[in-house]
Structure 1
Amino acid sequence: MKFKLPLLLIISLFFLSCDKENKTSKEVYIKGQIANPSSEYVVISKNNINIDTLRLDKNNRFEGNLKDIEAGLYVFRHPPENQIIYLEPGDSTLVWLNTLEFDESLNFSGKGSEKSNFLTNLYLLNQQDNDLILSYYKSDPSEFAKKTDSIRANRKQKLIDLEEKYEVSQDFYKIANSSINYEYYDLRERYAFLIRKYNPSLVEKIPSDFHDYRKDVSFNDTILEDSYVYLNFIDDFLRTKTLEDCAKIKPNDKNCTNLNSFENIKSRIELVDSLIQNKNIKNTFLDRLASQGIIYSQKEENIDLILNLLKNMDYSGNMKNGIAQMAKIQSDFLPGNSLGDKVYINTKKDTVKLKSFTRKPTITYRWMSSSSSHYIWQQDIIKNLQFKYPEVDFIGINLDMADPDKWIEVIKNNSFDPKLQFQATNIRVDENLLKNYLNKLIFMDAKGTIIRGDLQINTPDLEKKILEFISQQ
């Protein structure tokens, strides 16, 4: 944070001098500085289309003029992080951030900056709601309803205060107001899912008007295509609605809440097809769900069924080729297949077959050095499992194809057990798709025969599944 104030002082006079000439401009001037950059550029995009790429100079600063800008939401991306911003013709925006605390440090100044700052603050408040859900999902539905009403009223008052202070445009007010509403809807969807999964006795207490907002929801709002709140709501609605539909057909079937089950994923794909016509929004969810469905398929016919569903929907998403690649790979990872002869690289850079480095029942997990927050979180879980279940080998498979030495450096710096760490070879999938595999676990017997591969490292009842696996060996 210590770099922020000097930079703002240096450039503040520039924005004052530009303000008058930019009032009628159709361009947006954007400039900024990034502390601890994680890449060499920033990208401004809208609706999955890159508007401009701005490279950092030797002082980690960037600048550019964005031409023919329409008022609306845009995505500010500094790989691997991103955040939404609001731009209008004539804005002059100064950005400062520190990648060590990307969202918390992100700050905008200059003409029009109050809009992006408001949306960023909404995002941070929304993140706090994650803890709120965990503390309230055991509460009575009426009590939770009152809490969400209070949250929405508080957010709307903040928006009223912003409008009175800055006289923001009606276009921005509409987007911000919609974001507040969708945060409110999302809280209720997430709560409804959690009580159905963990506290079904509360379901009958849900007020009759608890989901009244559903009749007013649009699943095709072009203006909100880039809004994380809007997309989160759709995602959580799909989960809750699929669970509700399943519970009507199969009361008390716990598999209804298994988000990785083929039946659940298939139902959500079909729900997306029936509800969403906007191609960008539709493909966003089909990309995600089809990838998940392929990766966690346990039968060849399930893989074929997902591919046929997409074909019948005339699917044209960015993941079309990637999903086809993953379908071919998954055919090798179905239960009953053997991975014993699969070749990996050990930390001494020798090539070894899986069956040569383990004699125990084995669970493999995957990680990449570019996803540091993920592998740190992951290793905490793995170390705990290793301690509890010494009769199982937990093998880490690194996917760093572009930098084969980086994984060894991470192992040393983080005190991973090198005897249990290996690197994959000859991966037949685009590197951009590999992150889809980072939560996937594969359970194998001592000979390398796959027992199951439909679980994630964050599966709620994972330890129960591990005990079942051990008992079968």
Structure 2
Amino acid sequence: MKNPMLTRYVALSIALLSITFGCKTNDANTGDFAYLGGEIVNPKNKNVILYNTEGKVVDSFKLDSNNRFIHKFTNLQSGLYSITHGGEYQMVLLEPNDSIMFRLNTYDFDESLVFTGNGAKKNNYLIRTYLSNEQEEKKLIKYAKIEPEAFNLFIEERRKIQLDNFHDFLAQNDESDFFKSIIEANINYNAYANKEIYPFAYFGNNKLIHIKDLPEDFYAYRETVDYNANHLRHFYSYNRFMFSHIDNMAAHSHYEKHTFHNKFDRHAMDFNKSKLDLIDSLISDETIKNNLLKYKTRDYVSHNHTETDANEMLDYYLAKSTNDSDKKGMKELVSSLKLLRQGNPLPDLDVINFDGEEHELSAVIDKPTVIYFWSSNSKMQYRNSHYKVKELKSKFPKVDFISINLNRNDGETWKAIISDYNFPTEKEFKFKNPKKARRILAVNYSNKAIVVNENTTILHPNVNIFKTDFPETLSNLVQKKHLIVSQ
């Protein structure tokens, strides 16, 4: 008996390829364009948005009556593009002459995604490496407990297996050098990132001084690192490596000047200035450099520092960045953070509950409360944050936890996610004006949370519910064991 869904899938593949090859015969330069089409099962809405290699919107499509779309790229630049639908996000590697169709089910977005057509094999391989890296990343805490020599051997053996498997794939499939560089970068930089993160997990803040005692060959790969890989600037494994690498190098620099065994302070001014110095000296590509400068500075100023410290770091950043838009945004962030210091009232903003009713944020707070945020664009983050809050609620029955969605959409996607995962709706909200709210509350990353008391006085403007010390921090805050940071 035929599978009707598979039959429709094959039919769409044939239709797409027919359109592709039919159109190609009419083009003088067949190497400058490609086709991408898709079918979405159980769509969240009728929109599919396509982003180019610069992270800018290429086009927005309406799904037809069969929940399908097709797009022709002209003057195509080889690279990693991305498609979003209903808050989900997925990358696709496109090169001239590709004619790719994908099919996915929104109930299992990542795992259900399958490509067919010319260029499909490389994308299916890329998806498999993403999913594999995601699973391995979850196990890093467990791996990081083993001794440095054993950890180094484990990471290197795993990397070799992945590269060998990839080379076996290439022996049977003729793929471009660009594709080869993307997969090899994904394998290598993911392994390198694990090594850069390792000492922070293994030694912890109390014994991080032993970072200088790691085996000599532990970081041998650093000689091959490309700090200016512009084609990888939106690539997760590359950015994950660069972020952790800068932290690691700055820690080494720190212990060249501090030989004592005091607890390591990630928020120390000299340590964070050292990060900016390293970025400025190691990287010449302006896009990569400016992004790292921005995010490392933002991480520092978003912590609960004094206004003086925040301004000092801001000035240090402004002298190094060449991106005027970033610099303007950082000035606005530091300005917003002045209103979010401990002891200040929480700025009042309008929120909308699950039933569509509008409230002032202060009106829904009547006890010590943790306000946490999530984006529809990050399934892992919104699932994990809600599961973590469920765990925290059992430990802190006298504390409220308010969930606020950050996206600018019509609310249907937001509600669909809440319903699909059976999240309790009572404390679920979205901002009436998300852009304004994110600026005022300085929510630049979704793992940020704000703790207030029953009078909406800020107890802490920037905590992370996933940190291992968060339960202790929250307990101290609600028991009024906090200090108001001096101005």
- Give the TM-score range, shorter chain: 0.7 to 0.9
**Counterpart among 34, 37, 54 of residue 28 in structure 1:** 34
Worse-matched range after superposition: 196-205 or 27-36: 196-205
Closer, same or farther: CA 3–301 of 1 in aligned 2, 3 Å: farther
Candidates 53, 62, 65, aligned match of 2:69:
62
How far apart, CA to CA, are the structure 1 residues paired with 2:95 and 2:113? 19
> Partner residue of 1:81?
88
| C-alpha separation in 1, matches of 2:36 and 2:454 | 58
Is residue 299 of structure 2 the alignment partner of residue 292 of structure 1? yes
Cα deviation 1:237-290 (Å, max 9, x = unaligned): 12322333334444444343x4x6766555434433332222222233344334
Distance 1:428 1:120 in 2: 32
Q: Following TM superposition, by how much is the alpha carbon of 1:351 offset from its aligned partner in structure 2, in angstroms?
A: 5.4
> 1:428-467, aligned counterparts within 5 Å?
429=436, 436=444, 438-445=446-453, 447-467=455-475
The code of the aligned residue for 1:225 comes to: R
Shift in CA distance, 144/5, structure 1 to aligned 2, threshold 3 Å? farther
SS of 2:38's equivalent?
Answer: strand
CA distance in 1, matches of 2:365, 2:33: 60
Residue aligning to 1:329? 336
Correspondence 1:235 to 2:214? no
Instruction: Name which of 121, 128, 146 aligns with 2:135.
Output: 128
TM-score, structure 2 as length reference: 0.80
Q: Distance in 1 between matches of 2:73 and 2:351?
A: 46
> Any residues of structure 2 matched to 1:202-217 within 5 Å, and which?
203=211, 206-217=214-225
- How far apart are the structure 2 equivalents of 1:59 and 1:255? 57
| Structure 2: unaligned runs, 5 residues or longer | 482-487
1:190 shift after superposition: 2.2
% identical aligned pairs: 26
Q: Distance in 1 between the 2:116 and 2:480 partners?
A: 61
Q: Which residue of 1 aligns with 2:204?
A: 197
Counterpart position of 2:254: 246
Tell me: CA distance 1:199–1:63, structure 2 relative to 1, closer, same or farther (3 Å): farther
> Which residue of structure 1 aligns with residue 484 of structure 2?
none
Return the alpha-carbon distance in structure 2 between the equivalents of residues 153 and 221 of structure 1: 22
CA–CA distance in structure 2, aligned partners of residues 52 and 365 of structure 1:
35
Is the 1:52–1:66 contact (alpha carbons within 8 Å) kept by the matching residues of 2?
no
Query: Which residue in 1 is equivalent to 2:173?
Result: 166
Q: CA RMSD in A?
A: 3.9
User: In the TM superposition, what whole-angstrom CA distance separates every residue of 1:110-144 from its partner, at most 9, and x where no partner exists?
Assistant: 11222222221111111121133122111111111
> Closer, same or farther in 2 for the Cα pair 1:169/1:392, shift >3 Å?
closer
The answer to which of 425-434 and 201-210 deviates more is 425-434
Is contact 1:366-1:399 (8 Å) kept? no
TM value normalised by structure 1? 0.82
Q: 2:371 aligns with which of 365, 371, 389?
A: 365
- Asked if the contact 1:30/1:93 (under 8 Å) is kept, the reply is yes
Partner residue, 1:280? 287
Confirm whether residue 15 of structure 1 aligns to residue 24 of structure 2. Answer: no
C-alpha distance in 1, partners of 2:129/2:364?
52
Cα–Cα, structure 1 residues 239 and 385, in superposed 2: closer, same or farther, change >3 Å? Answer: same
Aligned length: 467
